[in-house]
Amino acid sequence: MATTLQRSSSAALFDKAQTLFPGGVNSPVRAFQSVGGTPLFMDRGQGAHIWDADGNEFIDFCCSWGPLILGHAHPAVVERVSATLANGTSFGTPTRLENELGELILSNHQYADRIRFVSSGTEAAMSAIRLARGVTGRDKIIKFDGCYHGHADALLVKAGSGLATLGTSSSAGVPEAYARETLVLPLNDLDALEQCVATYKDQIAVVAIEPIPANNGLLIQDPDFLREVRRICTREGILLLFDEVISGFRVGFEGAAGLYDIQPDVLAFGKIIGGGLPVGAYAASEEVMRHIAPTGPVYQAGTLSGNPVAMAAGVAQLSECLKPGFYEDLDRKAARLVDPVVAHAQAKGYSFNIFRRGSIFWLAFSDAVHIRRSDQIDPDSMAYFSKLHAALLERGVYLGPSGYEVGFVSAAHTDADLGRAAQAFTEALDVAFA
């Protein structure tokens, strides 16, 4: 049943925040600009549930935008972090916890041999690009329209006008000279890729892709497309970067590389890897990673990189992910949420579908069977999302406040949570389509 949400404490906190931070937030999508209203300020989380400053309780499908695959305040994570914290938070020296997390990952991930920890996904992707340029001695990079790789200059670039592949910066403050080194192509289009590598023969260092693009809707790629991208990169001496900041440890411990059995040359990680603390990483073969300082000429460093508290959270979380049946269970849970909602929409004849890969899901206000490119998303459909989002909040379900963002099911969601949430989704859909 719907209730009118009490929001006065969140509204007061947001008023204050607007006197402190641009737009009242420390990351733009938190601002509720695309759905309207003021953001809810969260006070605490436990398992799949979160409570805001007004005491409203929600079943959470944002999960901090992906990191919280075990839900909030998982006992194993809390315990390990607390024990580590008591011994000091950072030394600026190597610690045994870095070895522990590094070994845990590399011994269970056959697509990576060496890893370097950083503190965010942005840093991971940015460093992976620099590494690829350093290894190949080439400057240009290819990325795809609809993929996000964090906010480094080279990657805040969108497709130019018309058929031009030369990128143009998608943010003020990014010099056009940098943007020109980034070539932007449509997803799922091999001809465009072939043409681009022919035009810029021997100038392209790396093709960067989210193998499961999940930052602009969920643009599930044809595995054959990914395999062909791999083949073209190998043929042209271009490194292939899989940005697995979302998909890594999410669709399986080995992420999309494991799911599709494709060996990228470089991998970027973030989100889940830090157990809810700020961790990113990039990984590759020993031969490629040797190019990084101090063994090689590509410079990259970090005062808090690999800090023990964050490493402890990662160890605790990833150890849970490695338990037998973990990902099968997560997949079953996600189906328990999604399937009844899609069935309801079909029965009602709504132009609506939920795309899902494992525990990542995306609400599409569309009849399309596949959506593989960002230009296949109708911006007008976002009006439905805004209504749905508001109706879900009133029914105790929290989704990230943008229709272009995906949702996540965590291991903490119980069958009861998922049943209740599915009921809320069906009611909210009826509201959105009324």
CB 362 within 8 A of CB 407: yes
The dihedral through the CA atoms of 74, 79, 85, 90 has a sign that is negative
For the bound state, the minimum distance from the C-beta of residue 205 to ligand PLP, rounded and expressed in Å, comes to: 18
The question of whether 145 is a catalytic residue gets the answer: no
Q: How far is the CB of 150 from ligand PLP (least distance, A)?
A: 4
The CA distance from 69 to 63, in Å, is: 7
Q: How far is the CB of 210 from ligand PLP (least distance, A)?
A: 5
Residue 52 vs 123, nearer CB to ligand PLP: 123
Coil vs helix vs strand at 353: strand
Q: Which entry of 60, 143, 145, 148 is annotated as an active-site residue?
A: 148
To the nearest whole angstrom, how small is the minimum distance from the Cβ of residue 147 to ligand PLP?
Answer: 7
- For residues 125 and 197, which CB has a smaller minimum distance to ligand PLP in the complex? 125
What is the closest distance, in whole angstroms, from the C-beta atom of residue 151 to ligand PLP in the complex? 7
Q: Phi/psi class of residue 24: alpha, beta or left (left: φ > 0; alpha: ψ in -120 to 50)?
A: left
**Between 246 and 338, whose beta carbon lies closer to ligand PLP?**
246
Contacts by 322-329 with C-beta closer than 8 Å and gap 24+? 322/104, 322/108, 322/253, 326/411, 327/251, 327/252, 327/253, 327/358, 329/411
What Rg value do the Cα atoms of the chain yield, rounded? Answer: 21
Q: Which amino acid, one-letter code, is at 26?
A: N
The two structure tokens encoding residue 42: 């969260």
Calculate the dihedral angle through the C-alpha atoms of 389, 391, 394, 397, rounding to the nearest 10 degrees.
-50
Asked if residues 361 and 407 have their Cβ atoms less than 8 Å apart, the reply is: yes
Task: Give least dist CB 68 to ligand PLP, A.
Answer: 13
148 is catalytic: yes
Given the residues 140, 143, 271, 333, the one annotated as active site: 271
Rank residues 65 and 225 by Cβ distance to ligand PLP and give the closer one.
65
Task: Give the residue with the Cβ less far from ligand PLP, 125 or 397.
Answer: 125
CB atoms inside a 10 Å sphere around CB 82: 11
Look up 15 and say whether it is catalytic. Answer: no
DSSP codes of every residue in 23-76: GG-SSGGGG-TTT-SPPPPEEEEEBTEEEETT--EEEESSGGGTT-TT-BT-HH
Closer CB to ligand PLP, residue 24 or residue 150?
150
β-strands 239-243, 204-209 pairing: parallel
Q: Residue 217, by phi and psi: left (phi above 0), alpha (psi -120 to 50) or beta? A: left
Contact footprint for ligand PLP (CB under 6 A): 120-122, 125, 148-150, 210, 215, 243, 245-246, 270-271, 280
Q: What minimum distance in Å lies between the beta carbon of 25 and ligand PLP?
A: 14
Residue positions counted in the chain: 434
- Find the catalytic residue in 243, 398, 404, 417: 243
Who's near 238: CB < 8 A, 6+ residues apart? 136, 142, 197, 204, 205, 206, 207, 232
Cβ proximity to ligand PLP: between 151 and 336 the closer is 151
Residue nearest ligand PLP by beta-carbon distance: 121
Q: Provide, rounded to whole angstroms, the least separation between the CB of residue 428 and ligand PLP.
A: 26
- Cβ nearer to ligand PLP, comparing 130 with 344: 130
- Distance from the first to the final alpha carbon of the chain: 16
**Active-site positions?**
148, 243, 271
